[in-house]
Amino acid sequence: MNGKPYGQPSVSARAVRRAAERETEKRVSKPTLAVAAPRMSFGHQHAEAFCLMWYACECGHRERIWNSRDGVTAFGFQCPSCKEPKLKHVNWGLDKYAPDHVPAPGQRIWIDLTRDRALEIARRTVDQVAKGKLPEGADLNRIADAVYNGGMQPDLVVYGYVEAS
Ligand SMILES: [Zn+2]
């Protein structure tokens, strides 16, 4: 008996959905809007299609990421060295169109987000926001759909990082 007839307030489905939307926003790119000088898109839909792009963080981390497809990329996200969300696309003038680029093992590349991965992100978001307990009325698959956004979202993976057989 805790004397509270309506129980403890729980995280609402809306809070989880908002968190999922924020996650989605973080992953959506803005470079085509923010870029100062127009860039060639080489007949592709996105200016950053198949480009090698420098990303840097104020902590000193710097890496070159390749966009493996004609799709959007994220402008900024979490830095793997300091964990701050400060790794940003820099030196836009050094973006290099490289459709035939073969990534080095260990290089990070942008790929299309898969629905399975969107589900994983949805699950992780629920874990972080609602301590793993899906609030009443929330639907993990609908959250995953919001993250997936029809397959338009980018995902970032390490190229060639596979376990030896
Ligand atoms: Zn950093």
Of the listed ranges 13-17, 121-125, 128-132, 157-161, the least confidently predicted one is 13-17
H/E segment holding residue 87: strand 87-90
Q: What is the pLDDT of residue 49?
A: 95
How many angstroms is it from 6 CA to the middle of ligand 1?
Answer: 44
27 in Cβ contact with 121 (< 8 Å): no
Strands 108-112 and 62-67: parallel
Q: Which residues contact 47 (CB under 8 A, 6 or more apart)?
A: 31, 32, 35, 39, 40, 41
How many angstroms is it from 73 CA to the middle of ligand 1?
Answer: 19
Q: What is the pLDDT of residue 34?
A: 46
Q: What is the mean pLDDT of residues 116-125?
A: 92
How many angstroms is it from 104 CA to the middle of ligand 1?
Answer: 22
How many angstroms is it from 32 CA to the middle of ligand 1?
Answer: 24
How many angstroms is it from 26 CA to the middle of ligand 1?
Answer: 17
